[in-house]
Amino acid sequence: MPKASLMRIVNFTATHQYGRADRSRAWNEARFGDQVHPHEHEYQLEVTVEGEPDPETSFVVDLPELDAVLAVLVGPLDGGNLNETIPEVREGDMQPSTEALARWFWERIGPRVPGEARLRRIRLWESGALAGQVDG
Protein backbone atom coordinates (compact mmCIF):
# COMPACT_ATOMS: atom_id res chain seq x y z
CA MET A 1 0.00 0.00 0.00
CA PRO A 2 1.38 3.47 -0.81
CA LYS A 3 2.32 5.88 1.96
CA ALA A 4 -0.07 8.63 2.92
CA SER A 5 0.33 11.77 4.95
CA LEU A 6 -1.74 13.72 7.45
CA MET A 7 -1.31 17.37 8.39
CA ARG A 8 -2.48 18.74 11.73
CA ILE A 9 -2.62 22.49 12.31
CA VAL A 10 -2.38 23.98 15.81
CA ASN A 11 -2.65 27.69 16.61
CA PHE A 12 -1.15 29.54 19.55
CA THR A 13 -0.28 33.08 20.55
CA ALA A 14 3.01 33.99 22.19
CA THR A 15 5.31 36.91 22.87
CA HIS A 16 9.01 37.00 22.09
CA GLN A 17 11.90 39.36 21.50
CA TYR A 18 15.35 39.13 20.01
CA GLY A 19 18.64 39.97 21.60
CA ARG A 20 21.88 38.65 22.95
CA ALA A 21 22.73 39.17 26.61
CA ASP A 22 26.46 39.11 25.78
CA ARG A 23 26.13 42.12 23.45
CA SER A 24 25.43 45.77 24.13
CA ARG A 25 22.04 47.37 23.80
CA ALA A 26 23.36 49.35 20.81
CA TRP A 27 24.55 46.14 19.09
CA ASN A 28 21.20 44.43 19.71
CA GLU A 29 19.23 47.42 18.40
CA ALA A 30 21.47 47.67 15.33
CA ARG A 31 21.09 43.95 14.60
CA PHE A 32 17.46 43.31 15.55
CA GLY A 33 15.86 46.76 15.32
CA ASP A 34 12.54 47.15 17.09
CA GLN A 35 12.37 43.36 17.50
CA VAL A 36 14.45 43.77 20.69
CA HIS A 37 11.21 44.78 22.39
CA PRO A 38 8.62 42.17 23.42
CA HIS A 39 5.97 41.69 20.73
CA GLU A 40 3.20 39.19 20.18
CA HIS A 41 2.49 36.87 17.25
CA GLU A 42 -0.25 34.48 16.34
CA TYR A 43 1.52 31.28 15.35
CA GLN A 44 0.22 28.44 13.23
CA LEU A 45 2.09 25.15 13.57
CA GLU A 46 1.62 22.66 10.73
CA VAL A 47 2.74 19.13 11.54
CA THR A 48 2.79 16.58 8.71
CA VAL A 49 3.25 12.88 9.46
CA GLU A 50 3.43 10.06 6.93
CA GLY A 51 3.28 6.33 6.89
CA GLU A 52 1.41 3.29 5.74
CA PRO A 53 -2.32 3.59 6.43
CA ASP A 54 -3.58 1.01 8.90
CA PRO A 55 -5.46 -1.65 6.86
CA GLU A 56 -8.33 -1.72 9.37
CA THR A 57 -8.80 2.00 10.02
CA SER A 58 -7.12 3.67 7.02
CA PHE A 59 -5.41 6.05 9.47
CA VAL A 60 -1.72 6.94 9.21
CA VAL A 61 -1.62 7.89 12.89
CA ASP A 62 -3.93 7.83 15.88
CA LEU A 63 -5.02 11.46 15.82
CA PRO A 64 -5.88 11.78 19.53
CA GLU A 65 -2.40 10.49 20.37
CA LEU A 66 -0.77 12.99 18.00
CA ASP A 67 -2.95 15.76 19.43
CA ALA A 68 -1.80 14.81 22.94
CA VAL A 69 1.86 15.15 21.87
CA LEU A 70 1.16 18.57 20.37
CA ALA A 71 -0.80 19.72 23.42
CA VAL A 72 2.13 18.90 25.71
CA LEU A 73 4.49 21.01 23.61
CA VAL A 74 2.25 23.86 22.47
CA GLY A 75 0.10 24.25 25.58
CA PRO A 76 2.81 25.83 27.76
CA LEU A 77 3.71 28.29 24.98
CA ASP A 78 0.19 29.58 24.33
CA GLY A 79 -0.27 32.99 25.91
CA GLY A 80 3.28 33.01 27.25
CA ASN A 81 6.64 34.53 26.48
CA LEU A 82 8.90 32.25 24.41
CA ASN A 83 11.98 33.91 25.91
CA GLU A 84 10.91 32.65 29.32
CA THR A 85 9.16 29.38 28.42
CA ILE A 86 11.70 27.74 26.09
CA PRO A 87 14.86 26.84 28.05
CA GLU A 88 17.19 27.22 25.06
CA VAL A 89 15.94 30.76 24.47
CA ARG A 90 15.99 31.67 28.15
CA GLU A 91 19.60 30.44 28.45
CA GLY A 92 20.72 32.38 25.37
CA ASP A 93 21.45 29.30 23.24
CA MET A 94 18.72 30.08 20.68
CA GLN A 95 16.97 33.11 19.25
CA PRO A 96 13.18 32.68 19.07
CA SER A 97 13.15 33.07 15.28
CA THR A 98 10.53 31.31 13.20
CA GLU A 99 13.07 28.96 11.62
CA ALA A 100 14.74 28.15 14.96
CA LEU A 101 11.34 27.46 16.53
CA ALA A 102 10.43 25.17 13.60
CA ARG A 103 13.59 23.16 14.27
CA TRP A 104 12.84 23.17 18.03
CA PHE A 105 9.42 21.66 17.35
CA TRP A 106 10.94 19.13 14.92
CA GLU A 107 13.40 17.86 17.49
CA ARG A 108 10.64 17.36 20.08
CA ILE A 109 7.77 16.06 17.95
CA GLY A 110 9.76 13.67 15.74
CA PRO A 111 10.62 11.14 18.46
CA ARG A 112 7.07 11.29 19.87
CA VAL A 113 5.04 10.60 16.73
CA PRO A 114 2.76 7.71 17.68
CA GLY A 115 2.70 4.33 16.01
CA GLU A 116 4.60 3.56 12.84
CA ALA A 117 4.21 7.03 11.32
CA ARG A 118 7.15 9.39 10.99
CA LEU A 119 7.43 13.15 11.01
CA ARG A 120 7.66 14.46 7.46
CA ARG A 121 7.41 18.24 7.82
CA ILE A 122 7.12 21.04 10.34
CA ARG A 123 6.01 24.43 9.11
CA LEU A 124 5.59 27.28 11.56
CA TRP A 125 3.77 30.42 10.45
CA GLU A 126 4.33 33.64 12.36
CA SER A 127 1.35 36.02 12.15
CA GLY A 128 0.41 34.51 8.78
CA ALA A 129 3.12 36.25 6.80
CA LEU A 130 6.36 34.47 7.67
CA ALA A 131 7.07 30.75 7.84
CA GLY A 132 9.94 28.54 8.92
CA GLN A 133 10.05 24.94 7.72
CA VAL A 134 11.93 21.74 8.46
CA ASP A 135 11.58 18.65 6.23
CA GLY A 136 12.73 15.15 6.89
The confidence band for 1, taking pLDDT boundaries of 50, 70 and 90, is: low
Percent of the chain with pLDDT over 90: 90
Of 126, 128, 97, 109, give the one whose Cα is nearest residue 71. Answer: 109
pLDDT in tens, 86-125: 999 999 999 999 999 999 999 999 999 999 999 999 999 9
- Domains, the chain, ranges and CATH? 4-135 (3.30.479.10)
Which stretches of the chain are DSSP H helices?
Answer: 25-32, 63-74, 82-85, 87-90, 98-109
pLDDT of 30 above 80: yes
Average pLDDT score, the chain: 95
For residue 60, pLDDT beyond 90: yes
Tally of CB atoms within 10 A around 45: 21
Question: Taking the complete model, does pTM exceed 0.95, yes or no?
Answer: no
